[in-house]
Amino acid sequence: MRGGDLVSVVLGVDLATGDARVLAVDAETGAHLAERSTALPTVSTAGTREQPAVYAEAVFAMIAAITDALGSRASDIAALSITGTSGTVVPADLLGRPVGNALLYNDPRGSEELSALAAAGLGVRPSGALARAAWMHAHTPAPLYLFTPDVVAAALAGTVLASDTSHALKSGIDAVTATWDATALDVLGLPASTLPALVAPARAIGVVSASVAPSLGLPQGVLIVSGMTDGSTAQLATGAVRPGDTVGVLGTTLVLKAASRTMLTDGASGIYSHVAPDGTFWAGGASNTGAGVLRHGVTAGLDVREADRAAVALGASPVVAYPLAGRGERFPVVDAAFDGFAVDLSGVPHVGTDPVVRFRSVLEGVAFVERLGIERLQALAGPGTGHHHLGGGASGSVVWNTIRASALGRPVVVPGNRSSAFGAAMLAAAGLPGETFQGVIDRLASPGRFVEPDPQLVAALEDRYAVFTEMLAVRV
């Protein structure tokens, strides 16, 4: 909102898998005014993946720190929007307060419920989150099943607000009409009353309550604007939202998307379409590969800068990998039993203890997954006419970006703004009175810079990609 000399400040709240952050942004220029982050713990036992649902507490502490850092500009905060991981479900009471741990997007519970949906002919839409909610309802029932942004929004507003269609997409919804699938709910025995209302992204859905605002240093009347998943907000931050554009959002996991005028869906490849605030479609999928793999095995604890230098000195890896930290993959292949692979250039399984080789093979392997995902998206949408953008925190790595461009064999765009928190702030700005979604994109999305392929790497990575696809055909 811009009136006279007043320029609004908007907040982007990002609830990632391993951490949370809040970013304050000038809604006119896109300048980053203040930022805070904190770790989010996870709990893994016997193959499960849970997280203590401390999202509201973490966000409240960060907002208070942000408003303190902003000083007098805190009074200009006009709106906020929240982004989170896709498919994570939180059991909650009728006020939206968590009553148990969240089941993360990669928690395997709900597999039998997914099989029931498939047997009923309802397996086309992604429904993993709905299956997890149904599993909880059968084993540890709660009054409500929400997504992580819903929990924070409810704590801010003092009541449960509508959930956006982006976070609910993997619950088998119809994202165009913003409705739950009544047949799927009936198959799962999940009452509609346990689920939130749905609304499109970038819509004002409530305000921070008058009782909560003062304790956080917020002015009265701060709008809460419906968000999108972290992969989508990272896409928005890059500006890759025009039909033909593609984006690879590299954080803990890898999210790949293509902007399209038509809805693209392919259950066999894990491809689904988010509906953007302007009614276009952002098709793609989320892989379990990503920078999070580097926290495990022989690469755990490596100094990234030293590892980058060593990886450059090594050159193309003698090992070809599909790097996964655990069992199961969602895109560009769908296989709950797939645990990746590492082979030498002749396809023989490789078990090595050299951390630099492992590090380099992960960098290249993630790039190969990215290429395969783009190829599968373009097989549905047709050849892309736009640019491939790199988003997410790990896209700050110059070494990795060069490898990604070289694996694709073409230049890629690294935007100035590529974080999910910034994309959430853009959605908050789009929800302000008098704003338009396109206007916010034109004003805040940065053009970025091109990263060229390394001519000496392109041929070597092409050979390794051939090994990668051959091994994948055998394993999946």
**d(C-alpha 358, C-alpha 364), whole Å:** 10
Residue 236, in any domain of the structure: no
Domain span holding position 204 = 2-230
Last residue of a domain, one of 181, 196, 230: 230
Residue 14, in any domain of the structure: yes
Residue 1: pLDDT band with limits 50, 70, 90: very low
Phi/psi-derived region of residue 96, left when phi > 0, alpha when psi is between -120 and 50, beta in every other case: left
What average pLDDT does the structure give for the chain? 93
Instruction: Residue 171: give its domain's CATH number.
Output: 3.30.420.40
Buried b (16+ CB within 10 A) or exposed e, 116-141: bbeeeebbebbbbbbbbbbbbbeeee
Place of tokens 């148990």: 100
Whether 53 and 102 have beta carbons less than 8 Å apart is answered as: yes
Are 142 and 284 part of one and the same domain? no
Are 223 and 274 part of one and the same domain? no
Residue 312, in any domain of the structure: yes
Are 249 and 214 part of one and the same domain? no
**d(C-alpha 164, C-alpha 196), whole Å:** 9
pLDDT, tens digit, for every residue of 116-138? 999 999 988 889 999 999 999 99
Residue 4: pLDDT band with limits 50, 70, 90: very low
Q: Write out the DSSP string of 248-304.
A: EEESSSEEEEEEESS---BTTTTBEEEEPTTS-EEEEEEES-SGGGGGSGGGTT--H
Q: Where are the alpha helices (DSSP H) in 416-454?
A: 420-430, 437-444
Place of tokens 């401390």: 54
Residue 146, in any domain of the structure: yes
Residue 430, in any domain of the structure: no
Residue 190, in any domain of the structure: yes
Is the pLDDT reported for residue 173 higher than 70?
Answer: yes
Residue 421, in any domain of the structure: no
Residue 128, in any domain of the structure: yes
Are 186 and 310 part of one and the same domain? no
As to burial, measured by CB atoms within 10 angstroms (0-12 exposed, 13-18 middle, 19+ buried), residue 15 is buried
Are 267 and 377 part of one and the same domain? yes
pLDDT, tens digit, for every residue of 190-207? 999 999 999 999 999 999
Are 90 and 213 part of one and the same domain? yes
Percentage of the chain beyond pLDDT 90 is 78
Smallest CA-to-CA distance from 469 within 369, 359, 329 is with 369
Are 202 and 267 part of one and the same domain? no
As to burial, measured by CB atoms within 10 angstroms (0-12 exposed, 13-18 middle, 19+ buried), residue 306 is exposed
Are 324 and 383 part of one and the same domain? yes
Last residue of a domain, one of 230, 262, 294: 230
Which amino acid type is present at position 304? Answer: V
Are 143 and 183 part of one and the same domain? yes
| 476 against 217, higher pLDDT | 217
pLDDT, tens digit, for every residue of 229-280? 998 998 899 888 888 889 998 988 999 999 988 898 887 778 889 999 999 9
Are 323 and 359 part of one and the same domain? yes
Are 158 and 306 part of one and the same domain? no
Smallest CA-to-CA distance from 228 within 133, 148, 108, 131 is with 148
Smallest CA-to-CA distance from 105 within 134, 148, 144, 150 is with 148
Are 222 and 264 part of one and the same domain? no
Last residue of a domain, one of 211, 230, 249: 230
Count of domains for the chain? 2
pLDDT, tens digit, for every residue of 381-402? 776 667 899 988 899 999 999 9
